[in-house]
A and B are shown apart, each in its own frame.
Chain A
Amino acid sequence: MSAAEVHEVLPAGPGPGSRPSGDVAGQSLWRVAWRRLRRNPGAIAGAAIVAVFVLVAVLAPLLAPYDAGALPGRAEVRPTLIPGPSDAYPLGLDRYGADLLSQLIWGARASLLIGVLSTVLGLLGGMLLGVLAGGVGGWVDSVIMRLVDLMLSVPSLLLAVSIAAVAGQTPTSVVVAIGVVQVPIFARLLRGSMLAQRGQDYVLAASSLGLSRRTVTMTHVLPNSVSPVIVQGTLMLATAVIEAAALSFLGLGGGSPTTAEWGRMLTAAQAELEIAPRLALWPGACIAVTALGFTLFGEALREALDPRQRRR
């Protein structure tokens, strides 16, 4: 599943509504956005989910009853029997005798790490390319945009799969694969958004005051172009969680069978669906809910930051 295409924020064209809010630093834009966010139930739900997820991931060592990958119930598992919930194991055991609850909690940490690291990677790479393309222009722009088109010419999951297949089956290669797939999306977005700003009056004014192109770009154009990138980053966290699961499903996740990672847990549980459906349902629900949280929050953020949304 490549939600990358799903979650792509289209750069705001120079339409009637895409005027920036006058204030160069964009503070009032964010203040307005904050006010809108507080009133949007979707935003609140999304933020709550994200907060719980981050807390669980960070506090995993305190919350999880057992260590990651520990097999406290190994002796109780039989080929045809995987013990269900009990006092010692609130959600039961998994196929290998690990505590499902602990694995889910540690899995949140893995998902957060993969999501954040890959998105940061994609963001940095994309911003670098985007700023170069949008800021320098000319042949640099052409070359970079050709490269971006090239990367977008392959469906995103296939791109991620090829990268992960070369990089080897490790969690690092999953991060790299998902990150690289995000690069062209961020790059195109930032460039589009910077080009839209270029034609704005305040930029023209700054240029006519004699400020260098570089200064104008860094102090005026870029700060006003980041809001769609931030929205995209939030949505990309959802994508990353889902794509990591897909790569695990294709056997590219790496790690051992007891690694606490939702995608791997979900994939492994499919063989056990009849005798222990909970093994698939819990990690599946965790992935979906986490992705939902980031998506809700990202969508709400997008609406809040989009001036066109005011009339609704």
Chain B
Amino acid sequence: MVRLILRRLALLVPTLLGLSVLLFAWVRALPGGPATALLGERATPEAVERINALYGFDRPIVEQYVRYLGQLVTGNFGVSTRTGRPVLEEFASRFPATVELTVLALLLAVAVAIPLGYLAARHQGRTLDHLTVVASLLGVTVPVFFLAFLLKYAFAVELGWFPSSGRQDPAMIATHPTGLYVLDGLLTREWDASWDALVHLVLPALALGSIPLAVIARITRASVIDVQSADYVRTARAKGLLPRHVRDRVVLRNALLPVSTTIGLQVGLLLSGAVLTETVFAFPGIGSFLAEAVFNLDYAVLQGFILIIAVVYALVNLLVDVSYGLIDPRIAR
């Protein structure tokens, strides 16, 4: 197991190196080059020259890259041109919000999708099955920001059941030791703050969870159908084990193995979806900040966030694979 983790971490290094080369090249491909990316287009030639000298953009390209890499390794991702704060700081202050949102979205998706997929498979060809199939198709074909908007319009604006934006009631006074607001409330025993944070998460998490929900429901369904007709299940049945046991133990456990790998793959989807969902709900996470950076062409933020997200993405996938290996020792070779 430890070797698996070490090998995967070792594999991560060349990927990140490659990505840093791409991002390095990317900023240099921008119209006007890196100085313009830092200064904006209104920069005077003198200012560009000063920046070029200051940051060594006039040095040989390899030297520049090594220097850039050195900065990355020491956690220096540059400064946001829009807010004037270090990119890493911006990321760190918003990351907990996105963690909360994506975790809840994934929990919602899993909680609904697995039973739904299972039931659909058990009732293959019947109404519930057809409904599940249609819903899971719609889940991936309705644009997530459109769904987010409809949810917000119906449940926040028209019905007023949920807040329409933000992470907490602006009138709420609460302390935030971890930045995970739901957890913070529990730690500080400010129950109403926890509840308030949770309520703010419901609609964005529903919208964001729609895609993984659809995917997981579909894969659960297919997987359960596969396992049901697999030879060892037939054997178990033939041996006279109770059908109930067959269903509950063997089928479900074996069917969930491929499902659990899929769940790991959802992280990329969730991060992509967060950019759109957080924007619709004015949710102050990394997604909405990234969207703002896109609107304002804040390249330092784009560059830094993409690199950090790639690391997070890789680590989460590693985590999933490790836990998968724990569930099924056959994998951990």
Contact = CB atoms under 8 A, between A and B. Distances in A.
Contacts of B18: 146-147, 150
Contacts of A249: 143, 145, 276, 279
A41 to B, nearest CB: 10
B243 to A, nearest CB: 21
Interface in B113-156: 137-138, 140-146, 149-150, 153
Interface string B214-235: 1100000000010001000000
A62 interface: no
Given A150-B18, A154-B309, A270-B149, A2 B272 contact: yes
B19 A150 contact: yes
A37 to B, nearest CB: 17
Taking chain B's interface residues, is the majority helix, strand, or loop, or is none over half, making it mixed? helix
Interface string B15-59: 110110010001001110000000000000000000000000000
A311 B31 CA distance: 57
Contacts of B29: 166
Nearest to A1: B144
A3 to B, nearest CB: 5
A156 B272 CA distance: 7
A288 B143 contact: yes
Contacts of B214: 6
A242 B143 contact: yes
A161 B146 contact: no
Interface stretch (B178-186, B195-203, B294-302, B325-333): B294-302
Interface in A145-166: 146-147, 149-150, 153-158, 161-162, 165-166
A3 B273 CA distance: 10
A213 B306 CA distance: 40
B140 A250 contact: no
B249 to A, nearest CB: 24
Contact of A2 (B268, B299, B314): B268
A32 interface: no
B143 A1 contact: yes
B297 A291 contact: no
B294 A251 contact: yes
A222 interface: no
Given A280-B146, A288-B138, A149 B15 contact: yes
B107 to A, nearest CB: 19
A65 interface: no
Contact of A165 (B14, B297, B310, B313): B297
A162 B141 CA distance: 23
B124 to A, nearest CB: 9
Contacts of A149: 15
Contacts of A270: 149
A238 B229 CA distance: 31
A246 B141 contact: no
A236 interface: no
A274 B141 CA distance: 24
B271 interface: yes
Contact of A245 (B19, B22, B143): B143
Contact of A153 (B15, B140, B145): B15
A156 B313 CA distance: 12
Nearest to A8: B265
B241 interface: no
Contacts of A147: 18
B141 A288 contact: yes
B45 to A, nearest CB: 23
B213 to A, nearest CB: 11
Interface in A241-294: 242, 245-246, 249-252, 263, 266, 270, 273-274, 280, 284, 287-289, 291-292
A201 interface: no
B141 A250 contact: no
A246 B143 contact: yes
Question: Which of A2, A280, A299 has most chain B Cβ within 10 Å?
Answer: A2
Contacts of A155: 268-269, 271-272, 309, 313
19 contacts: A3-B211, A149-B15, A150-B15, A153-B15, A153-B16, A155-B309, A157-B275, A158-B275, A162-B26, A162-B306, A166-B26, A166-B30, A245-B146, A249-B276, A270-B149, A284-B142, A284-B146, A288-B138, A288-B141
Given A155-B309, A162-B306, A251-B295, 13 more contacts: A5-B265, A5-B266, A5-B272, A146-B15, A147-B18, A153-B19, A155-B269, A158-B306, A165-B302, A166-B30, A245-B146, A291-B140, A295-B140
Interface of B: 14-16, 18-19, 22, 26, 29-31, 137-138, 140-146, 149-150, 153, 157, 211, 214-215, 225, 229, 265-266, 268-269, 271-273, 275-276, 279, 290-291, 294-295, 297, 299, 302, 306, 309-310, 313-314
Interface of A: 1-3, 5-7, 146-147, 149-150, 153-158, 161-162, 165-166, 168, 238, 242, 245-246, 249-252, 263, 266, 270, 273-274, 280, 284, 287-289, 291-292, 295-296, 299, 311-312
